[in-house]
Amino acid sequence: MQLALQGIRILDMAWIGPGPFCATLLGDLGAEIVKIHEPDPDRRGGLIRFAFPADSPDFPGLRNCKTMGLNLKSEDGRNIFYELASTADVVMEGYRPGVMQRLGVDYDTIKRINPRLVYASLSGYGQDGPYRDVVGHDINYISIGGLLGMTGTADSGPVPPGTLIADFAAGGMGAAIGILAALMAREKTGKGQFVDISLTDGIVEMLYLWLNPFLLYGLENRRGDTIFTGHYPWYNVYETKDGKHLSIAAFEAWFYRNLCQLLGREDFAEHQFAEGEKRDEIFEYFKQAFLTKTRDEWVEILRSKDTCVAPVYSLDEIANDPQLIARGMIREMPHPTLGSVKQVGSMLKLSDSPFQVRNWATRFGQHTDEILRALGYDEARIHALRQSEVIS
């Protein structure tokens, strides 16, 4: 079986934020991911321990990747990196702008060694502009990108979303798309290129639904005052009798009509876009109606006739949902030391290149020796490099 990205080697130095998610996507598609870290991983701070928690012996590690400890501040370390980069397809890094240049492993340096290489830099604000050197994390990028200001109700104030959208969607998926596009362009031109991924840029583009009308017409939508942020009762979240919640998204007129019929108020159907007192009346009726039955009872009733309803799940419910299990999003995976582990699967379903787990990285520097041997280093040279703290 030929995996979609089989034969593509990626040197990954983007250890936190969007980098791990991007690497997982590309690794699951078949790319060989070599995660390069400093010989002493603690120098990168506590966040890196989310990947390999020292106090969790049953943590499976990261799938479809290898790890290598390499000191890029040393001449020997840089030379090893140059050897790796000479035959790699992609370099991915997540340091502050300018760090790679100071280390001597920036794009302008590496492209002289390998003109076919795609070099992706992932950062909060991008490689240029007045904010390029400003530090931040996910919540900062969704703030300045406008997403946080649109999340929540009119009364609640901005509410952080339930996952890292700047890191995973804007940054991780954005980087994967940029890398794949650059690899496709290389097939036509024979040359690699630089991919500049800004998490803030990605958030701003994801907000086009509200930004474009503002840019064109000056139309300013506010949190809790749009169709998709709680302004209408038919696109909203409701509490049920058992203290759980469900979501309703009866956007199309026929879905809304079905909803009104099943709730016993068919007369509401002609008032879908009502404002003022009528909208408040519908809101209040829906709120009280949904409190009369449990969440799952309502889901069964409303799914009997098209209404666009779904339960608001907790994590344990996600893990046991039959649709997610059937789609392989919650699945058992073979593991070299644990036998098998239950993990989140791959969202990418390719008919001829199905997802598979090829290997696991369970500790820092696990594959350093293997990678160096493939470059032709003998055991004595590897031992000397380790003694001089060039590798780990």
Active site residues: 137, 167
- Taking the C-alpha atoms of residue 160 and residue 199, their distance in angstroms, rounded to an integer, is 16
How far does Cα 356 stand from its chain's mean position? 19
Pairing label, strands 62-63, 66-69: unpaired
Q: Are 268 and 189 in contact (CB under 8 A)?
A: no
Place of tokens 């009762």: 233
Residue 327 has what DSSP assignment?
Answer: T
Burial 115-147 (b: 16+ CB within 10 A, else e): eebbbbbbbbbbeeeeeeeeebebebbbbbbbb
Relative orientation angle of helices 253-262 and 295-303, to the nearest 10 degrees:
120
How distant, in Å, are the alpha carbons of 96, 133, 203, 389 from that of 124?
Answer: 9, 9, 10, 31
Q: Are 5 and 83 in contact (CB under 8 A)?
A: no
Q: Are 30 and 112 in contact (CB under 8 A)?
A: no
- Taking the C-alpha atoms of residue 96 and residue 16, their distance in angstroms, rounded to an integer, is 12
Phi, psi of 28 (to 5 degrees): -65, -25
SS3 (DSSP) at 361: strand
126 Ramachandran zone, left/alpha/beta (phi>0; psi -120 to 50): left
Here the tokens at position 382 are 């590897």
H-type alpha helices, the chain = 18-28, 75-87, 99-103, 107-113, 138-144, 165, 174-189, 199-206, 208-217, 253-262, 276-290, 295-303, 315-319, 322-326, 368-374, 379-387
- Taking the C-alpha atoms of residue 353 and residue 374, their distance in angstroms, rounded to an integer, is 27
Here the tokens at position 68 are 């290598």
SS3 (DSSP) at 7: coil
